[in-house]
Amino acid sequence: MSCKQALVKDVVLIKPDVTISDALKIIGDHEIRAVPVVDNDANYYGMFSIHSLMDDLLPVAARIAGGLSDLSFLEGGGPGAAKRIRKLAPMPVRAVIQRQGDESNLHPDLPLLETIRRLYEYGSPLPVLDQHNKFIGIVSEQSCLNFLMSMLADIEKEEQQQAG
């Protein structure tokens, strides 16, 4: 039982040089939470989502390590954040995404339970990379749940057969 079982290969992807405003449109049109950023050689750059953008809307002082951890005092910061969107819009997605640490990049043979644990810890969806670090597909909370539900259905059928 590995993460292969919950793998989704048919996935919307975007190239690293796509602008942020286009990427946001793609997310909106497909009604997805995040989109993997992958180039023509299946190299994985990171996951783009509105979540990843949130950090970039904050002032620099709040984004850096050791920076401000509470902005409750900052009244009237709206226009500043709005203007930051304007500044970000024409930039390529590769400028704002980061490849997360190794733990959030899954490999196809990762046991299912560990896959679920990582989804819980690092968020959903997570990329699945092969042994050459090339992008194969994603695993999401939904795909895991779907697989488990179908497995549960099989288990219940078997239990009924045994009882009957």
Query: In terms of CB distance, is 65 or 149 closer to another protein?
Result: 65
Structure tokens at 130: 């092969």
The C-alpha angle 31, 20, 44, rounded to 5 degrees, equals 80
Query: In terms of CB distance, is 61 or 163 closer to another protein?
Result: 61
Q: Is 149 near another protein (CB under 8 A)? A: no
Among 31, 66, 86, 154, binds another protein (CB under 8 A): 66
> Using CA atoms, how far apart are residues 98 and 122, in angstroms rounded to an integer?
13
Which segment (76-84, 88-96, 108-116, 147-155) binds another protein by CB under 8 A?
A: 76-84
Angle between helical axes of 112-122 and 141-163 (0-180°, round to 10): 140
* Residue 147, amino acid: F
Return the SS3 of 2. Answer: strand
* Residue 40, amino acid: N
What is the size of the binding site for another protein (CB under 8 A)?
A: 17
Which segment (21-29, 54-62, 135-143, 146-154) binds another protein by CB under 8 A?
A: 54-62
What residue ranges bind another protein (CB under 8 A)?
59-62, 64-68, 70, 72-76, 79-80
